[in-house]
Amino acid sequence: MDSAVNAEILPSRVKGLSLARQFAIAAAGVLLFGMGAIGFWVSGRIEDAVTHNAAAATALYVDSIIAPLTQELATSSTLGEGARLALNETLSQGVLSKTMFAFKIWKPDGTIVFSNEENIVGKQFAMTEGLEAAKAGKIHAEFDHLVGPENETERQSGIPLLEIYSPIREPWSGDIIAVAEFYEDGHDLRTELTRARVQSWLVVGVVTLAMLALLFGIVARGSRLITSQRAALNEKVETLSKLLDQNRALRRRVDQATHRTADLNERYLRRISAELHDGPAQLLAFASLRLGSIIDGNASSQDSQRVKGALDEAMRDIRNICRGLTLPELEDLPVGEVLKRAIAAHESRTATQVVVECDPDLPNLSQAEKICVYRFVQETLNNAARHAGGVGQRVNAAARDGGIEICVIDKGPGFDPSNAVDGLGLLGLEERIAGLGGSLDIASGPGQGTRLTMRLPGTMMP
């Protein structure tokens, strides 16, 4: 269980480190592994090269000194007494006598025909890798790799030995008639190889550390830049978040102000309606009654009749204006009922017919939105009655994307919206709808009728 806990803690600790330190840990592992692989490969190549060079020098000695003394092996399976004495005398003198530990001459079949170890002469051993290579005409060398029964004496000596196999050829035919095997004291070679390994490891280590330092410097600089940019980005994100919060708060305040403005406007309209009804309308009604009494005593007065007719018409207009300014109580009514009341009031006032198509599941709307719906239907139907004679009046209401879409259509002569001059009512509607986050589309043209579409978003009830 402890190992599992440690395995979970280690990644979290690594993640807490900076990018540069994470890179240093990862790069150190990779570069150290690469350094080890390269170091072993280089030291191995150096050892092979040094061993091969030593073997090449010995092979040259064999070709020049030993080969002429063993040519009788081309026709005989053994060396004569004279050849053996000559070999012993040759090997006991010269440069090799100081470094050579043992010497053997093999027949190609694995039989030892000469050795400074008399007890193994005439014995046949299994073919080794070195013998096979020399039999194929190659020089083979192995350092301190003494295996096999033929190397028993050499292993017991405890001396590091360089084992060299060199082919002996017949001069005029080039055929390999024997294989010479030398065992040289490898103390100096070991010292040289150790020095070469140390130097190669030092070079590889210094280069690896230099690469690691250079890459770490680059990554550290990039890490500092990323850290500073991240801090700046976090600061900007924090600032933007605060601005977004402020914008949302301002939007809520604007929406609330829009609702309050709509409510205040309706209150002002109701107040104006009451003032017109209780003030000028009552005075006009009183004046009309008094004028009627006067006219009854003087029925021939045509001017008086005209004045009374004008007063009655003015009173009717004021009463119509009052009815248009006053809204029914909409707060507790669903949207469908609001539409029906607006359409019913229009049909009663204009004596026209309106076709209604209304979805049964319309969204809930706030008080300001219900007032907007009522005023939209009221104004557009009034325009249809005034300019299109009420022909083809139609109202469609449907739920759209969580909001509501209402279309008012007529089949009148239409108009060009870009050249409309009497657009105060539509302009006010457009501003009212835009204040609630909605939109108004007008599609009309000469002889094409008119289609006005109001869209309000999802409920904005405070």
Task: Tell me if 43 sits within 8 A of 196, measured CB to CB.
Answer: yes
CA–CA separation, 160 and 436 (whole Å): 99
pTM: predicted TM-score of the whole model, two decimal places: 0.43
CA–CA separation, 335 and 330 (whole Å): 9
Whether the CA torsion 21, 25, 30, 32 is positive or negative: it is: positive
Per-residue H/E/C for 270-299: HHHHHHHHHCHHHHHHHHHHHHHHHHHHCC
CA–CA separation, 397 and 406 (whole Å): 4
Taking CB atoms within 8 Å and a gap of at least 24, the contacts of 187-195 are 187/159, 187/160, 189/50, 189/51, 189/54, 189/143, 189/160, 189/162, 190/143, 190/144, 190/160, 192/50, 193/46, 193/47, 193/50, 193/143
Residue 364's nearest CA partner among 333, 401, 407, 324 is 333
- Using DSSP's 3-state secondary structure scheme, residue 19 falls into helix
* Those residues with Cβ within 8 angstroms of residue 326's Cβ, 6 or more apart along the chain or in another chain: 269, 270, 273
Structural domains in the chain, sorted by start: 16-198 (3.30.450.20), 331-462 (3.30.565.10)
Instruction: Kindly give the confidence (pLDDT) of every residue in the chain, 462 residues in length, as a single tens digit, with 9 standing for 90 and above.
Output: 444 444 444 455 555 566 667 777 777 777 777 777 777 777 777 777 777 777 777 777 767 777 777 777 777 877 878 878 877 777 777 666 667 777 788 888 888 888 877 777 878 888 888 878 878 888 887 776 666 666 666 666 667 777 888 888 887 777 888 888 877 776 776 777 778 778 777 887 788 788 778 877 777 787 788 888 888 999 999 999 989 988 888 877 777 777 677 666 766 666 666 656 555 656 666 666 666 666 665 555 666 666 666 666 666 666 666 655 556 677 778 888 888 888 988 888 888 899 999 888 888 888 778 888 888 888 888 888 888 888 889 999 999 888 899 999 998 888 877 765 555 567 777 888 887 888 899 888 887 889 999 999 865 444
Alpha helices in 62-170 (DSSP H): 81-91, 96-99, 129-135, 152-157
Tell me which H or E stretch contains 316: helix 302-325
- Using DSSP's 3-state secondary structure scheme, residue 462 falls into coil
Compute the residue count for the chain. 462
